[in-house]
Amino acid sequence: MTQSRQIHLVRRPQGAPKVDDFAVVGVETPDAADGQVQLQALYVSVDPYMRPRLDADQALDAPMLGGGIARVVQSRHPDFREGDVIRHAMGMQERFVSDGRGLLKLSPDPDLPLSVYMHALGGTGITAYGGLLEVGALKDGEQVFVSTAAGAVGSVVAQIAKIKGCYVAGSTGSDDKAAWLRDEVGLDAVVNYREQPLAQALREAMPKGIDVYFENVGGDHLDAVLPRMNVRGRIPVCGMISTYNGDRIGVKNLSSMIYSRVRMEGFVATDFPHLNARFQSDMTGWLKDGRIKYQETILDGFERAPEALVGLFEGRNTGKMLVRAAA
Amino acid sequence: MTRVRTAVRLKARPTGLPGPEHWDVQEEPIAPLAPGEVLVANRYISVSPSLRAQMDAGGAYLPPAAIGDVVRARGVGVVLESRAEGFREGDTVEGPLGSQSHYSGPGEVLSPVDPAFPLPRHLGVLGMTGLTAYFGMLDIAAPKPGETVLVSAAAGAVGSVAGQIARLRGARVIGVAGGPDKCAHVVEALGFDACIDYRSEDVRDRLAELAPEGIDVYFDNVGGPTLEAALLSLRHRARIAVCGFVADYNDIGNLRGARNYLRLLETRSRMEGFSVYDFAGRYPEGRAALAGWLSRGEIAAYEHVEEGLERFPEVLRLLFGGAQVGKLVLKV
């Protein structure tokens, strides 16, 4: 038996989530029984997808759902040894026991920080990699436009496209992010959609049209992009954040899909198990060579997970938001 | 003797529904044939949404018609005179004959057709219309046996063929059409499993009843609210073949546009625009399959024939809200 903590949702948020909507709850974690492991949280992930769940799917007075990285501290399971580092979706628990199902053993590269296995080498990375290369069927040297290019997925997409020799432009909503994209990430053009009408900005940013549009926004972004699509263009649909709170704007430029024979296709990270080995190897190399840059905001202390989550929804993070629970 | 033809030429670009004021119908002399050219007496002209698209100044995969041009309509006719190899007087041909009484020009763009079929059929099931349905349904939408397929403009030229092809592939086919007569035609004459009347029924509600588990394929000829309803009812890994948007052609400035594209992500579905011209290398395959189905009575073909070249402007308007079923053709 070990004393540990969990993060619970204790009431449904009224409007924007507040720290008081959550509680840090002390619990006793049992020792690992036969066929079980006990794990200690190293990193806890907070993610945008958690917001709608707070209104419905997330149970009250139960550990917050979510993913993280943990270390095996006791093992009575043949496949795990003490000290193994795993990725899991067991939620916000400082310690927990598991029968091993759903645990993914990691082989962390000693030259990379462990946190990258929660983004560039995790779900974010494979989403970008599979979405761009397989669903987007990217060819070297094509014209690529990425919406929310400074976001977790968008920034990886943009950089993979640059590695593949493409002309890459992206949209973002702040000057700071635009500067990061231009100066650090090396995009060929950046559109600040809060400051410029998108359709006109796209004509300037994508003078040779668009072969692949990586869609994170939907709505007016999609409508502005469609007339710029080149023949046989592809639109991998990763997200449509502008429509999550109600979809008021119709997409008017449907005719462009016919005229340019555009293919638009939705996907999720779990569509690409067949790409995983190649992804791990490519991405590890790119990260170590510094060809993929990333930003992360890490809060120290398991008990700060509610603060991290609220901060994420308020946009106080730069890049991937994480909580470090233990070293 | 100088021959004379009647030609319908574009006079002005419409902003909405085209009317008589956008056309000139005039008689003009036909120049003598040059080597490689043929003279064809046009019998039937295909009236299709692509004619309307050519009237706009840009955007389409076909270049727009210039003011003063004869619009590039497909047609079927009989050769009167030939200076082109492979064509003889009396041959029946199909090709871009144009909105005029006689075609004179290169023979190489024309194809001889089997005069045993009724001539309008070469513009319908056996023409670009049928080929559009064939490649759009089989290559882009690719229904599997037992899947549920939704087809809009189901009584129309392309939709009627697309739905029948899906049925031949073993799919369950639901049509969408305007009015009880068209819906009855879609079910009784074309053999669709059901048809939704978008004028008197809520497409979304009716679709939920007819396909409670959703649809696997949507063959889209209209865009707009029907697309919006179809997006909502997509099953996982569904396909939308985007063929046309008749609902949009005449109201470009004032479109509402469909919402619900998020469903593509939620269901990991694919939506793809296509053009029959991309399949030009496979026309013989498509024509052979369509002719086979027709000959065996597995596909029903309907043409709606209007008469009189001078009526071209009003007949074109029938595309947008007319009561006809099947392929709209104009008898010259």
pLDDT tens track for A127-165: 999 999 999 999 999 999 999 999 889 999 999 999 999
Q: Mind listing the pLDDT tens digit for each residue in B187-205? A: 999 999 999 999 999 999 9
Distance of residue B281 Cα from the nearest chain A Cα, in angstroms: 17
pLDDT of amino acid B60:
56
pLDDT of amino acid B255:
61
Q: Residue A255 and residue B268: Cβ atoms within 8 Å? A: no
Using an 8 Å CB-CB cutoff, list residues of chain B that contact chain A.
Answer: 59-61, 223, 227-228, 242-245, 248, 255-275, 278
Q: Residue B270 and residue A254: Cβ atoms within 8 Å? A: no
Mutant choice from B62, B242, B276, B277 vs A, greatest count of A C-beta within 10 A? B242
CB contact at 8 A, B176 and B196: yes
Residue B256 in this model has a pLDDT that exceeds 80 = no
Residue A95 in this model has a pLDDT that exceeds 60 = yes
A123-270 matches A2-119+295-324 in CATH topology: no
- Report how many helices (DSSP H) and strands (DSSP E) chain A contains, helices first: 9, 15
- Out of A252, A264, A265, closest to residue B257 by CB: A252
Mutant choice from B265, B270, B275 vs A, greatest count of A C-beta within 10 A? B265
Report the pLDDT averaged over residues A233-242: 91
| pLDDT mean across residues, chain A | 94
Contacts of A247 in chain B (CB under 8 A): 259-262
Q: Residue A251 and residue B259: Cβ atoms within 8 Å? A: yes
β pairing state of A296-300 and A320-324: parallel
Distance of residue B296 Cα from the nearest chain A Cα, in angstroms: 33
Q: Residue A259 and residue B272: Cβ atoms within 8 Å? A: no
CB of A223 within 8 Å of a chain B CB? The answer is yes
What does the longest C-alpha to C-alpha distance in chain B come to? 68
CB of A220 within 8 Å of a chain B CB? The answer is no
pLDDT of amino acid A86:
97
Instruction: Give the pLDDT band (50/70/90) at residue B36.
Output: very high
Domain architecture of chain B: domains with CATH: 4-124+301-331 (3.90.180.10), 128-277 (3.40.50.720)
Percent of chain B predicted with pLDDT > 90:
80
CB contact at 8 A, B326 and B155: yes
Report the pLDDT averaged over residues A267-286: 95
Residue A315 in this model has a pLDDT that exceeds 90 = no
Q: Cα(A76)–Cα(A33) distance, rounded to whole angstroms?
A: 6
- CATH 3.40.50.720, applies to A123-270: yes
Q: Mind listing the pLDDT tens digit for each residue in B124-165? A: 999 999 999 999 999 999 999 999 999 999 999 999 999 999
Residue B286 in this model has a pLDDT that exceeds 70 = yes
- Out of B223, B260, B270, closest to residue A247 by CB: B260
CB of A247 within 8 Å of a chain B CB? The answer is yes
CB of A266 within 8 Å of a chain B CB? The answer is yes
Instruction: Give the pLDDT band (50/70/90) at residue A15.
Output: confident
Q: Cα(B217)–Cα(B321) distance, rounded to whole angstroms?
A: 25
pLDDT of amino acid B322:
76
Least confident of A48-57, A82-91, A291-300: A48-57
HSE-up (13 A, CA, CB side) for residue A275: 21
What ipTM, to 2 d.p.? 0.87
What does residue B17 show for φ and ψ, rounded to 5 degrees?
-65, 130
Percent of chain A predicted with pLDDT > 70:
98
CATH class of A2-119+295-324: alpha beta
Instruction: Give the pLDDT band (50/70/90) at residue B245.
Output: confident
CB of A246 within 8 Å of a chain B CB? The answer is no
Instruction: Give the pLDDT band (50/70/90) at residue B238.
Output: very high
Contacts of B272 in chain A (CB under 8 A): 257, 261-264
pLDDT of amino acid A240:
86
Instruction: Give the pLDDT band (50/70/90) at residue B61.
Output: low
Distance of residue A263 Cα from the nearest chain B Cα, in angstroms: 4
What is the number of CB-based contacts under 8 A between chain A and chain B?
Answer: 106
Q: Indicate the domain borders of chain A.
A: 2-119+295-324, 123-270
Q: Cα(A96)–Cα(A94) distance, rounded to whole angstroms?
A: 7
Residue B229 in this model has a pLDDT that exceeds 70 = yes
Q: Residue A268 and residue B268: Cβ atoms within 8 Å? A: yes
Q: Cα(A83)–Cα(A17) distance, rounded to whole angstroms?
A: 36
Report the pLDDT averaged over residues A29-58: 92
Long-range contacts, B281-290 (Cβ 8 Å, 24+): B282/B135, B283/B131, B286/B130, B286/B131, B286/B134, B286/B135, B287/B126, B287/B130, B287/B131, B289/B134, B290/B125, B290/B126, B290/B130, B290/B131, B290/B134, B290/B161
β pairing state of A37-45 and A210-214: unpaired
pLDDT of amino acid B49:
84
pLDDT of amino acid A48:
81
Residue keyed to tokens 């990379």? A112
Contacts of B261 in chain A (CB under 8 A): 218, 222, 237, 240, 243, 247, 251, 264
pLDDT of amino acid B251:
53
Instruction: Give the nearest chain A residue to B271 (CA atoms).
Output: A264
Instruction: Give the pLDDT band (50/70/90) at residue B258.
Output: confident
Question: Residue B182 is encoded by which pair of tokens?
Answer: 């068209």
Q: Residue B255 and residue A250: Cβ atoms within 8 Å? A: yes
Positive or negative, the CA dihedral B101, B102, B108, B111 is positive
Contacts of A263 in chain B (CB under 8 A): 270-273
For residue A192, count CB atoms less than 10 angstroms from its CB and return exposed for 0-12, middle for 13-18, buried for 19 or more: middle
Residue B253 in this model has a pLDDT that exceeds 60 = no
Report the pLDDT averaged over residues B274-290: 95
Q: Residue A257 and residue B271: Cβ atoms within 8 Å? A: yes
Give the number of other Cβ atoms within 10 Å of residue B93's Cβ: 23
Contacts of B273 in chain A (CB under 8 A): 256-263
Q: Residue A260 and residue B278: Cβ atoms within 8 Å? A: no
Contacts of B59 in chain A (CB under 8 A): 227, 255-256, 259
